[in-house]
Amino acid sequence: MEPPMCRPPLAIAIAVVLLPLAHAMTAAAAPSDACDPTGADATAVTRARADIAASCNCTGAATHGDYTRCARTVLQARVDGRRLSVECARFVQRCASHSICGRPNAVTCCRTSANGRTRCRVKRDASRCTTPPGGASCVGLYQSCCDACTATGCAPPPTPSPTPTPGPTPTSCGGLCPGGIQTVFIILMENHNWADVKNNASAPYINGTLLPAAGHGEQYYNAPGIHPSEPNYLWLEAGTSFGVTDDGLPSVHHQSTTQHLVTLLDNAGISWKSYQEDIIGNACPLTGVGNYAPKHNPMVFFDDVTDAGDPQSPTCIAHNRPYTELATDLQNGSVARYNFITPNQCNDMHTICAPQNDQLKQGDDWLSTAIPMIQSSIPYQNNGVILITWDEGEFGSDGPIGMIVLSPFAKVGYSNSTHYTHSSTLRSMQEIFSVTPLLGDAANATDLSDLFTSFP
């Protein structure tokens, strides 16, 4: 099958043979012009491609087939959820198929014939990107033939844009990131007032290593009067507790609204993942397993993430991943731009567990392993930020609880007494990623900008 003639990125929906979705990979009999990826369907196509970038590891896929199967799963979920037409799903699948993902050393190759016709092909390596007689050729800068070539040759390097502009990975820009925060890691600990943590001998890593290298807030509180854990996690995601006053399962407290952070990110083409310790990754984590508790994972309470509580929701499974995958994703540069990380209930200071039998020590030890792993990664070094906070104060108290900011942009060794709440964190996320409208109480909150030298 002849690869498509190259046109400007995302402009090859016309006159291409598309692949059917949710069936074997067989060629369609005729091209489809029902998807307009540069016009009426541009937003839907952009979001779908961003979802694939977040969910499918291009550089780390074992084979090209593994990558395209992952892409097809993501697209099927979008079609089933009526967020993408079948025709546009076939177009996006075509982009995944004509890519270098899962093909070590492969390149996109733009070859222009003597009569000025440019086509893109995927070649096994750069040496095979040869020049046709009387024409020209160049190795593309992009992973997919949907983006690699223009009508006259190779597409130029990406510029900051709301569309998915592929580089080596969606979050690793090889030391060339533009100004501003690029990647966020939020780590949620449990049930301790800041007075219990600061200067406590059971937390030597927090006090001896993190605070001297970070900015932190002395007056950061959980959502006012909101307890126990679950409604505070919901608040961090949506700026409201939705009236929830207990730690019930998503089957009880699921929400139909689409007005919450990760859906705003998804709508803007910004990737996200929730890394949860102790989940397995083969199902949507709607119930507890090991020391994982859904009450500490706000994303699984929203119907648009879980496909209305489906344990086999492809969207949910793609975005809610075992914490054990974070190390590989960091190494490969395949983490999302927004990463929500929850240790299990032994490691988040929630439960007394052997052998330490000290909640603070358990969490401090976990952070002493997790933080250096993140800080040594390219996504963090390229204008990343780590936020460490607690869900709520002890024994029904609102706090203050801790907020620690680590970043190349953090005010090192700095603290303030500004009144912050979880609404401040949510507002800061929305400002960093430029997504609106401000959700719930985030509209009334002070952002965390004073803890940074440059924000957002």
Give the pLDDT confidence of 278-325 residue by residue, as tens digits: 999 999 999 999 999 999 999 999 999 999 999 999 999 999 999 999
Distance (Å) of CA 252 to CA 244, 300, 448: 10, 12, 33
What's the CA gap between 79 and 87, in Å, rounded?
A: 10
Contact of 221 with 398, CB cutoff 8 Å: yes
**Which distant-in-sequence residues (6+ apart) come within 8 Å of 248 by Cβ?**
230, 295
What's the CA gap between 193 and 130, in Å, rounded?
A: 64
H or E, element range at 71: helix 64-80
The tokens describing 442, both together, are 């985030």
Q: What pLDDT sits at residue 177?
A: 52
Express each pLDDT in 239-253 by its tens digit. 999 999 999 999 999
What's the CA gap between 255 and 105, in Å, rounded?
A: 45
Contact of 145 with 95, CB cutoff 8 Å: yes
The tokens describing 358, both together, are 């000290």
**Torsion angle of alpha carbons 142, 147, 149, 154, nearest 10°?**
-40
Contact of 380 with 186, CB cutoff 8 Å: no
Give the count of alpha carbons within 13 A of 25, CB side only.
Answer: 10
Contact of 142 with 155, CB cutoff 8 Å: yes
The tokens describing 335, both together, are 């983490």
Other Cβ atoms within 10 Å of 31 Cβ, number: 13
Omega into 456 within 30° of 0, i.e. cis?
yes
SS3 state of residue 215: strand
List helix spans (H) across 268-309.
Answer: 303-306
What's the CA gap between 9 and 298, in Å, rounded?
A: 36
Q: What pLDDT sits at residue 256?
A: 98
The stretches in the chain having pLDDT less than 70 are 1-33, 157-179
- Position of tokens 């509580």? 309
Kindly report the pTM of this predicted structure.
0.66
What's the CA gap between 301 and 235, in Å, rounded?
A: 12
What's the CA gap between 252 and 229, in Å, rounded?
A: 15
